[in-house]
Chain A
Amino acid sequence: MKRPPSLPRSTPLSALVAVLSMLSIATAAFAAPPAPTDVVAKDLPADGGGSALVTWKIPVDVEGLEGFQVWRTESVSESDSRGANERAESLESIRSAAYENEYRRLVDVEGIAPEDAAIQARAVAREAIVGNQGDVTPAETGPHGRFWVLVDTVSPDDDKLLVGQLSVSDEYQFIVYTVVKNADGSVEKSVASAATGMVLPVASFIDVKRLPLLVILVLLCGAVLFFIFWARSGRPMTIRKIAGLSAVDEAVGRATEMGRPILYVPGIQDMDDLQTVAGVTVLGRVAKTAAEYDAKIEVPVSRSLVMSAARETVHSSYLTAGRTDAYNPDLIYYVTDEQFGYTAYVSGLIVREKPAACFYMGCFYAESLILAETGNSVGAIQIAGTAMPSQLPFFVAACDYTLIGEEFFAASAYLSGQPDQLGSLKGQDVGKLIVAAVLIIGCLLATVAVVTDNESLAGAIAWFKDSVLSA
C-alpha cells in the first residue's frame, strides 16, 4: 500500500506521540488537585480546652486554588447521635413498608374494611420492628474508614486553622482537602490528605486568654475594697441625690393618703440575675416605709424563688418597722413564669385595683412598656429601675422617675447610707475613670494609626481589641 506523499515516514510514531500528548493534557485538565502535605494537629497550649491548631503545607503550582477544607472526626456524642438517627430512620422505613404491605394484602386480597385493616396492619408493623431491632446497616464511612465533619474552609494563603468548640473528652483526627476552581467554573476537591495523629484538646491549668479579664477584675475590685476600708476609717463620703430613690417616701405616702395599694414588680427573671437581687433590695426599703405608713403592698412575682426571697425581705422590713402583725405573706405571690402571662395578670391587676404607686425594679423585656403604660393610665406615681438598656427609654417615657443602670445598683448603698457601702460607690467611680482613660487613649491611638498608616500601632490596637476587650 502506498503511503500518501504528504505524510512523512515517521507519521505513525508522531501520531502516537500526539495522541499521548493530547491524552496527557486531557488527563491533566481533569486530574484532581494535589492534597496538602505535612498535615499536623496539636492541642492549643494554655487554653481553656476544646481547641486544636491544624497546620499543613500548601501544595505548589496549583492552578485556580480556591482554598482548603479542614475536616475532623466526629465526637463520641455525634457518633451516637448519628447511629441513633440511622437506626430510627431504618426502623421507620421497615415499619412503613410492613404496614403498607399488610394493609394492601388485607384490603385487596382478604377484602377487609379499611378501618379494620389499618388496625391489624399497625399491629403487624409493630411486630416487624420488634423482629428487626438489630438489623440496621450503618451508613458508608468517609476517607480512612472514619466519619468526618467539615470544620471550615479557609483561603488559599492560609496554612493553618485554629479549630475550637471541640469536646475536651474526645480525641480527634483531621484531614485537609485542596479546593480548586477549574477553567469551566466547576469547583473540584483533591483527595483527602493523610489523617493527622490523635489530638485530645485538653484544658490547661489556667486559661491564658482570660488573664486580661483577671487583671481588670483585680484592679476594679481593688479600687472598691480600698475605698470601703477608706470609708471605714472615718473619712466622710457623700453621694449625689438620686431623685428616684428619694421619691420612694413620697410615693408610699401618696398611696397611704389615697387608701390604695402599692404595686411592686421585681422584674421577670430569677434570683440568679443581679437585677432581681437589686430589685429585692429596694423592695426591702419600700416595704419598710409601707409598714411604717400602714400601706398595703402587693408583690406579684414570676419566679418561685423570687417569691421566697421577697417574702423574707418584706417580713424583715415589717419586723424592723415593728409591724409584724401587719405582715401578710399572701400579698407576695407567684403568678407564672411565662412573660406575657405574667404581663396580662399584672396589667389586669393594675386596672382592677388601681394602685396609687407602682414600682418596677428588676430585669424587664418587652413587657416593660405594657406595664408602665397601664400604670400611667390609672394615674399611679411610677418609679422604675432596670439595667436593660433597651427598656430604659420606655420607662423614661412612661414613668415619673427612672433609675438608669448603675443608679439602680447604687440603690442599696444610697438607701442604707452605711460608710462602707458608700465607699464601694467611690471605688466604682475609679473604675469609671480607668474606662474613660482607656477610651480616650484608645481613640487617640486609633486616629493616629489611621492618619499615619502605622501598621505596628494598628496591630497593637487590634491585639488590644481581640485579646483584652474580648476576654
Chain B
Amino acid sequence: MKRLVPIWITAIVGVVLIVANFLPGARSWGEEATTWFGIIAAVAFVLGGGSLLKVHLKKISDRNSGWAYSLIVLGTFSATLAVGLFKIGVSPNPAFPDVPWSGDVQGQGTPFWWVYEYVFKPLTATMFAMLAFYIASAAFRAFRAKNFEAVLLLGTAFIILLGRTFAGYFLTSWIPVDGPFSGLRIEEMSVYIMQVFNTAGNRAIIIGIALGIASTSLKILMGLDRSYLGGGD
C-alpha cells in the first residue's frame, strides 16, 4: 500500500500532464497538478527547516568540530527570517499610509534588501568567482598530452583559446580574408570547430538525453521503475 498509492498518484498526474500538452481544454488540469507540487514542496520545506535546526543544534550541543559555523548559520538564519517575516524597518506603502505592514519587504533601502544586496550577493559572487581558478586547475589536468586523443584535445583547445583572443587574430592576420585559405585563420578555425564538431557532438548527447528522459518517464508512469521509492514492492 505504501508503494501502491504513490505509484498511482504518479501515474495519474503524469498522464494528466501528457494529455494537457495536447488538449488545450485540459491545460488547467496540468497547471493544477503543478500547483499541488508547489503545495507539497512548501509542506516539505517545514521538514527541511526542521532538519536544518536539528542538525546544527546537535552540532552545537555536541561541540563537534566546526560547531561555531553552525552557530553562525542559526544566527543568520533566525535574523534574516525575523527581518523578512516581521517586515522590520519597512515603511508603509504610500497608497496605504495607515497600514503599517503594507510596504514592500524587498523594496530598495529596507533591511531585508540590505541583507540581500550587501551580504548575500557578495557571498554568492565570491563562490562563483572561485570557479575561474577551478577551471584553470581542471584544464591543466585535462590537457596533459598523455596519448593521441589527449593531444587532439589539447590541440583543439589551443585553437579555440587562441581564436577567442586577439593573439589568434594577430598570428594569422596575414592570410587574406577573402582568399581560398581564409579558413586557416585561427578565428575562422575556432568558429568552424565550435559550429560543426562541437555542435554535432552536443546534439548527439542531447538526443540521447531526450530519449532517455522519455523512456524513464514511461517506466515511472507505468510503475515499472520504482527505485526512486526505495525499490521493491
Contacts and interface: CB of A to CB of B under 8 A. Distances in A.
Contacts of A285: 227
A217 interface: yes
B51 interface: yes
A334 B51 contact: yes
A206 B23 contact: yes
A431 B227 contact: no
B37 interface: yes
Contacts of B177: none
Contacts of A319: 230
Contacts, number: 217
Interface in A418-445: 420-421, 424-425, 427-428, 431-432, 435
Given A309-B229, A373-B137, A389-B206, 4 more contacts: A272-B37, A333-B51, A366-B128, A425-B215
A284 B227 contact: yes
A280 B228 contact: yes
Nearest to A373: B134
A320 B232 contact: yes
A409 B27 contact: no
Contacts of A308: 44, 47
Interface of B: 18, 21-25, 27, 37, 40-41, 44-49, 51-52, 54-55, 58, 65-66, 69, 94-95, 97-98, 120, 123-124, 127-128, 130-131, 134-135, 137-139, 141-142, 202, 205-209, 211-220, 224-225, 227-232
A206 B22 contact: yes
B218 A424 contact: yes
B209 A431 contact: no
Interface in A254-307: 270, 272, 274, 277-278, 280-281, 284-285, 303-305, 307
A272 B38 CA distance: 10
For the complex of A and B, list the 4 residue pairs with the smallest distance between their C-beta atoms, beginning with the closest: A316-B230, A304-B48, A203-B24, A409-B212
Interface of A: 47-49, 87-88, 91-92, 95, 126, 129-130, 203-207, 210-211, 213-214, 217, 220-221, 224-225, 228, 270, 272, 274, 277-278, 280-281, 284-285, 303-305, 307-309, 312-317, 319-320, 330, 333-336, 338-341, 343-344, 348, 352, 366, 369-370, 372-373, 387, 389, 392, 394, 396-398, 404-406, 408-410, 412-413, 415-416, 420-421, 424-425, 427-428, 431-432, 435
Which label, helix, strand, loop or mixed, suits the secondary structure of the A interface?
helix
B186 to A, nearest CB: 21
A361 B227 CA distance: 15
Contacts of A435: 207, 211
6 contacts: A129-B94, A207-B24, A211-B22, A394-B138, A416-B227, A435-B207
Contacts of A91: 94-95
